[in-house]
A and B are shown apart, each in its own frame.
Chain A
Amino acid sequence: MNPPPSTLEISLLELLVSTRESDDPRARIRLNDLLRGTPAARAAMARLLVDEQALINQLRQESIVAMLEPQPRFITSPRVPTTQYRSLGKVPKVTRGWPSLAAAAVLLLSGYLGWRALRNPSATGVLSAIQPVAVLKEDVDAVWKDPAPRGSLVPGTLMLESGMAAIEFTSGARVLLEGPAELELVSDMKAFCRSGNLLVHVPPPAIGFSIATPSSRIVDLGTVFGLSVRNDGSTLVKVMQGEVELRHPREVYRIKTDAAAMIDPCGKPTQVKTPDEVFPSETKFNERIASGALRNAARWQATAETLAKDPAALLSYNFTESHHSSRSVRNHASGATLESHGTLVGVGWTRGRWPDKRALEFNGRSDRLLFKLSGSAPAATCIAWLRVDSLPNPYNILLMPDTANKSALQWMLQKSGEMRLSLTNDLADPATANGWEPPVKAAAISNLDLGRWICLASTYDSSTGKVTHYRDGRAIGTGTFPLGLPVAFDSFSFGNWARSTVDNDVDAERFRNFVGCLDELAILSRALSPDEIEQFYQIGKP
């Protein structure tokens, strides 16, 4: 008997997706057998594929139109409703006091191009069409159910098994989460908490921010409140400051400062007395952050020298040795030459990843860090802990070689947030594109990453020509330098044009200075493995 048409379509789609997405040949065999045996399956398959083509055409047309639109769409993005909210019944519509102030602030902070990086699909690897609704600001002792979230967060569920995390919604609402907890981010104004303890701070721009639990929906009217959702769905809520509305399918209750209510699994509230200590607090969070930072700093300190001792390490700057007045930085790599110690031009000192760790701050148009390496190798790795404060130029240099040399590596961040690696060849003048291997790019940062410590790395192996880019220990893109040239190490400038390059041209394209901080930089004459890069990130994360 033939399956009914809808089941047939689902089976076909499922087999098609599995055939495309997995290396397992069984799905392919089953798909072909099904098509051989059933005429209805053949007709359905043909329709599904033609619809798929129609879908591609239609979405492609829409994204072209979207790119031409003059207004950033995420300012007025519609809120995403979810079934959890629908199941709680119809509730009166809440108008936000400050409709788009928070979004406007995000836009101002990020700048026009940060916005473009989020919207332009070709310019970014973040899921450009799914907009971030929040940022994971900090976490401490956090054990996340895999995969651990990092940076900007799109709608989805966060599962914190233990530890604490601060989540800042783009609307301005801040949630302190204490594990074990399960929180679904629905939009920048809505979340659903299945279980866990929370402290919610809602500043004026985010008034109307709401959190649903299995038994209730709490709409904030500009407050600080604590929430504790038990496994049976009952919810304890306490208002520390301001006022919240507790919405039940039939009634609305208001809870004012210092009042607390216990809501049973059916949604019925009872007034109770409960101390603030039941809920997470900013003080507790900050204390844990401070002691966590000390532990992390100690862990990093203990292992910082491991990379420097790697026989392939040509450069290892970790800024643990210098004094405030010092204008040079020490290369900790075991075979360091005199010329490989860095010279600072314009660059200042600032606080690094941890309170007593120092880092370099690049602000001025002429700021740079100069050093010289020597020799050549069949492979290379550039890896750094950075804080990008803005991307003011079309190209923002991380490492700039002396372009008079063949096979010299260049590492940059584009205004779009993409990182790119290239290598000079001797086919043409390096002032022209043909004088470089085609740059390999990967979307590395979005506007929500500005001002945060991130770990960027790029590796190149001439035996395969393969280039891999990493962000925070994870591979984010690969590509190939077709000529497979070895890498020559010579003079470099970090953060600006190389010394040899004329930079007194007034053309805006000529400015390529990096704006941000550098806390650690290493260059190796081999391609580090994905595991080694993950480890570097894990050990160094603040």
Chain B
Amino acid sequence: MSPGPQSTPDSRFIEALTRYQPVLEAFCHANLASRENAHDVLQQTNVKLWEKSADWNPETEFLPWAFAVTRFTMLSFFRDKMRDRLVFDPDVIESMAAETETAATELPERQEALGHCLKKLTPDQRGLLHAHYTEGRPLREIARTTHRTESAVKMNLLRLRHSLGDCIQLQLRKTNA
């Protein structure tokens, strides 16, 4: 009897799925710009990938196939979600397709570069990033706790993100030189 679609995925699939989890997460984040939405879509995508694991030919690249499945999952996610709860309109997401794939694939290098850049930050710059991005605190709340105005905190964050972006580019150039 030939194995059906429900058969246990092959170890090469499991290895690829585990290895590319961070890239898939970054891909979802780049399309949705929201941690919660990205998390939901990634979960649903993992289930779909698992179900469809037999469709993947381990001789071919994993990521293009997984990106396609993720897009498919996002379409059903948009149908269930109010449009105003999304950061980007579906047509914008579609027009960004090539850019999000390229950027997400670069995640490992960019993260390594960022690791070097973060070492240069002062404790309170790091604190701001931690509060906003890992703890998910709104800027208004950070402003209140640190006795600053919201616009001052926002400006700090924008400057910080901008200089981190520059630093990442510089690190990447150094590595590739």
Question: Which residues of A approach B to under 8 Å, CB–CB?
Answer: 6, 9-10, 13-14, 16-17, 19-21, 25, 28, 31-32, 35-36, 42-43, 45-60, 62-63, 77-78, 80-81, 121, 126-131, 147, 149, 153-158
A35-B144 contact in complex given A53-B26, A54-B111, A129-B126, C-beta closer than 8 Å: no
- Cβ of B118: which chain A residues have Cβ within 8 Å of it? 58-59, 62
- Cβ of B161: which chain A residues have Cβ within 8 Å of it? 13, 48, 51-52
Whether B144 and A121, one on each chain, are in contact in the complex, defined by CB atoms closer than 8 angstroms, is no
Whether A36 and B138, one on each chain, are in contact in the complex, defined by CB atoms closer than 8 angstroms, is no
A356 shortest CB reach to chain B, Å: 34
Among the listed A19, A45, A59, A131, which residue makes an inter-chain contact with B134, where contact means beta carbons less than 8 Å apart? Answer: A59
Count of A-B contacts with CB under 8 A?
169
* A80 to B, closest residue via Cβ: B122
Whether A17 and B147, one on each chain, are in contact in the complex, defined by CB atoms closer than 8 angstroms, is no
B72 shortest CB reach to chain A, Å: 19
Whether A25 and B131, one on each chain, are in contact in the complex, defined by CB atoms closer than 8 angstroms, is no
Report the separation of the CA atoms of residues A225 and B39 in the bound assembly, to the nearest whole angstrom. 56
* A158 to B, closest residue via Cβ: B147
| Residue of A14, A81, A129 with most partner-chain B CB within 10 A | A129
- Cβ of B140: which chain A residues have Cβ within 8 Å of it? 21
Report the separation of the CA atoms of residues A6 and B166 in the bound assembly, to the nearest whole angstrom. 9
Report the separation of the CA atoms of residues A157 and B137 in the bound assembly, to the nearest whole angstrom. 21
- Cβ of A149: which chain B residues have Cβ within 8 Å of it? 147
| Residue of B127, B147, B165, B166 with most partner-chain A CB within 10 A | B147
Whether B103 and A47, one on each chain, are in contact in the complex, defined by CB atoms closer than 8 angstroms, is yes
- Cβ of B95: which chain A residues have Cβ within 8 Å of it? 35-36, 42
Report the separation of the CA atoms of residues A31 and B135 in the bound assembly, to the nearest whole angstrom. 25
Report the separation of the CA atoms of residues A63 and B148 in the bound assembly, to the nearest whole angstrom. 25
A51-B134 contact in complex given A32-B89, A42-B95, A156-B148, C-beta closer than 8 Å: no
Whether A154 and B146, one on each chain, are in contact in the complex, defined by CB atoms closer than 8 angstroms, is yes
B contact patch SS: helix
A54-B146 contact in complex given A20-B87, A21-B138, A121-B130, C-beta closer than 8 Å: no
Report the separation of the CA atoms of residues A260 and B38 in the bound assembly, to the nearest whole angstrom. 63
Question: Which residues of B approach A to under 8 Å, CB–CB?
Answer: 22, 25-26, 29-30, 33-35, 38, 84, 87-89, 91-92, 95-96, 99-100, 102-104, 106-107, 110-111, 114-115, 118, 122-124, 126-131, 133-135, 137-140, 142, 144-148, 154, 157-158, 161-162, 164-166, 168
Whether A50 and B147, one on each chain, are in contact in the complex, defined by CB atoms closer than 8 angstroms, is no
A80-B106 contact in complex given A45-B99, A59-B130, A157-B148, C-beta closer than 8 Å: no
Can you report 20 A-B residue pairs in the complex whose CB atoms are below 8 A from each other?
Answer: A9-B162, A10-B158, A16-B33, A21-B138, A21-B140, A46-B104, A47-B110, A47-B165, A50-B110, A54-B110, A54-B114, A55-B164, A56-B35, A59-B129, A59-B133, A78-B123, A127-B145, A129-B126, A129-B130, A130-B146
Among the listed B26, B35, B92, which residue makes an inter-chain contact with A32, where contact means beta carbons less than 8 Å apart? Answer: B92
Report the separation of the CA atoms of residues A121 and B100 in the bound assembly, to the nearest whole angstrom. 31
- Cβ of A78: which chain B residues have Cβ within 8 Å of it? 122-123
Whether B96 and A45, one on each chain, are in contact in the complex, defined by CB atoms closer than 8 angstroms, is yes
